[in-house]
Each structure stands twice: as C-alpha cells, then as structure tokens.
Amino acid sequence: MSSSPIALLATGLVTSVGLSAAASCAAIRAKLANPGETLFIDSAGEWIVGHSVPLERPWSGRTKLVKMAVRAIEQALEGIAREEWGAIPLLLCVAEPERPGRIEGLDVEVFASIQSELGVKFAADSQVIAQGRVSVVTALSLARSLLGRFAVSRVLIAATDSLLCGPTLGAYERADRLLTSRNSNGFLPGEGGGALLVGSDTGSRPRELLVCGAGFASEAATVDADAPLRGEGLALAIREALQDAGCGLEAVDFRVADISGEQYYAKEAALAMLRLLRVRKEEFDIWHPAECIGEAGAVAGLAALVVAEAACRKAYAPGPGVLCHMANDAGERAALVLRYRVS
C-alpha cells in the first residue's frame, strides 16, 4: 500500500465493555473488563465465563450478530446522509468456515439481514469475507482495489461474530482451549460488532490514520498441529507488510494484536519479533484488546484498528507508527502497518 495508502475516516465498535467505539476504547485504555457467567456449563459442572455484549434485549444467534453489526455500522456512517449509503460497498467480515458451531447460512443470511435492518442495499461490489480474525486485512486490501476505481470514494468494512453458543463453546472446551478453573492456558470467549469507513488518502484531512502496508502468509504449525512452532508465518506476514509500507520496524512505535490468552499465539508473536527486530528499542509495547473484550473472532482484527485509531487521535499512543498483526486457527497470518499523520 506504499503507493496508495488508505485512510480511516470513521469507526464503530460494539463490545462487552461499551456499545460505541468511544466507550469501548475508553474501557480498553483503562483495562476494564466485564466477564460474567454464560448459560453454558463445562465438563467440570462449572459455568463457563465469557464476555457478552449487553444489548437492550436478550437476542442470540444470527439475530444478535445482525444487531451488533448494525449498531457499529450506524456509528461509522453517522456523518453521511442515509441516501448516500447505497453507493458504498460493504465488506462484511465473519467467522471462517472451519469455526466449530458456525451458524448455517451465515455468509448469505447475515448480510441480507443487515441490509434489511438498515433499510439500504449496499453497492454491487459488496461481499462477505469469511476468514475470522484475519478478515479485516483481506478487506482492507480489497478496499484499496475498490478505491482505485473512479466511482468508489468510500468503502465500509464491518465485522460481527460471537463465540457464545453451545456448539462452539463445547468444541473449544473439549480441546482445552477455554480459560476455566482447570485450564489456565485458554481464552475467555466473547462477541461483538465493528465497522470502519475507509477512503483514499487525499492529503486534505488535518489528522488521519493511514493503512500504509499489508502482508499475508500461512503457518504450517497451527494451534492444533504437532509441528514445532517457529513463528515463520507471522514473521513473513509482518515482513511483507513492512516492505509494502516501505519502512522497517524502527518506524513502528507499538503493536496491537489479536492475542487472547492462549500461550500458542503469545509465543508466536514473540518468536516473530525475534526473527525481525534488528534495532534496539527501549520500549515496544504490544496491546491486546481481548484482555477486556474476550476472544471475539472476526471482530478481533477490526477492534485492533479501532483501538489504534483512538489512541493516535487522542494522543496516548506511544508514537505514530503502529503494527497490527492477526492470526486464525486455520493458519492464515496477516499484518498491517499504520501511520498517524498530522498536517
């Protein structure tokens, strides 16, 4: 993206700690969390704890996915006249097909329900991206292509996901991947919705967070594989993102990742840095919003960008250079290099 950076124009976020981007980011900055008992019991007979989004009614399943996405989209499009929404393509990020307990017909029905709920039909270039946590990076790459066309000036990227359903929790609990009283190497399941409105970098805005580079790779030693983890896939994705942005790690001030509590993904991030970091940094923080909102699946990657944008705009970020990296259970790895510019 070095030749055509993408600008983040507006954001929306719905999580267990806030029903807006501002509220969620403030809670995440303060490291506030609100986990509670779910309606499901683990094999030890104890309530499974998770991060549930407190909407005004006890919706669940496909309906709740739609409600969370719609709320986030309305936040991101707040400054745009509703009659203009139909000219904007929507790239919807959802759970990958391999996800245990994935809702049948998710790709088609959720997208259609979102349009019906909003009362708008998005542009013909709209599509669904089912890659879980790495979906947002794929969406941004597609957005760059769309923005290169004369007729498209803005692209809407949205995500909605929930791990708080019986089949999903059952599968992860049997695989010893949930954080319980008997397993410390696991995550707390969560849910949420998010949205990003992006456009081309015109240079006319006084302040904006630019997506300057994107990288993709695959990792053979997945979380379920027996192969030794060396962090090669994530390192390759980060290296590609840095090359795309035309910079090195010395230009990055902090990281935001989708790490959610499992040792595997924390180890992978550390190994990737060992392979890439060749300059001395006194501090190189890594932020992981999942400690506050739980493992939110496809929303995790988008939440990382919303958190980074808020931190830069409100001047509590360690610096203007940001590295975001994501990984899903299928072995897909993705990274983004962001830069906050103040004219």
Check whether 336 has a pLDDT greater than 60. yes
Work out the percent of the chain whose per-residue pLDDT is above 90: 89
Tokens 């669940």 identify what position? Answer: 60
Average pLDDT value over all residues in the chain = 95
Contact present, 163 and 132 (Cβ < 8 Å):
no
CATH architecture of the domain with residue range 6-200: 3-Layer(aba) Sandwich (3.40)
pLDDT the model gives residue 202: 75
Q: Range(s) for CATH 3.40.47.10 in the chain? A: 6-200, 207-342
Helix (H), strand (E) at residue 16: none
pLDDT tens-place string over residues 174-203: 999 999 999 999 999 999 999 999 999 877
Q: How confident is the model at residue 4 (pLDDT cuts 50, 70, 90)?
A: confident
User: Are 325 and 313 within 8 A, CB to CB?
Assistant: no
- Candidates 7, 324, 336, 11; CA nearest to 147 is 7
Note the pLDDT of residue 151: 77
Rounded Cα distance between 268 and 234, Å, is 7
**Domain 207-342, CATH among 3.40.1050.10, 3.60.10.10, 1.20.120.1460, 3.40.47.10:** 3.40.47.10
Tens-place pLDDT, residues 141-163: 999 999 987 678 999 999 999 99
Specify the pairing of strand 127-130 against strand 321-327: unpaired
Q: Check if the beta carbon of residue 156 is closer than 8 Å to that of residue 77.
A: yes
Q: What is the pLDDT of residues 240-296, one digit of tens each?
A: 999 999 999 999 999 999 999 999 999 999 999 999 998 888 889 999 999 999 999
Predicted local distance difference test score (pLDDT) of residue 2: 46
Given the DSSP bridges, would you call strands 36-41 and 47-50 parallel, antiparallel or unpaired?
antiparallel
Q: Write down the pTM of the prediction.
A: 0.95
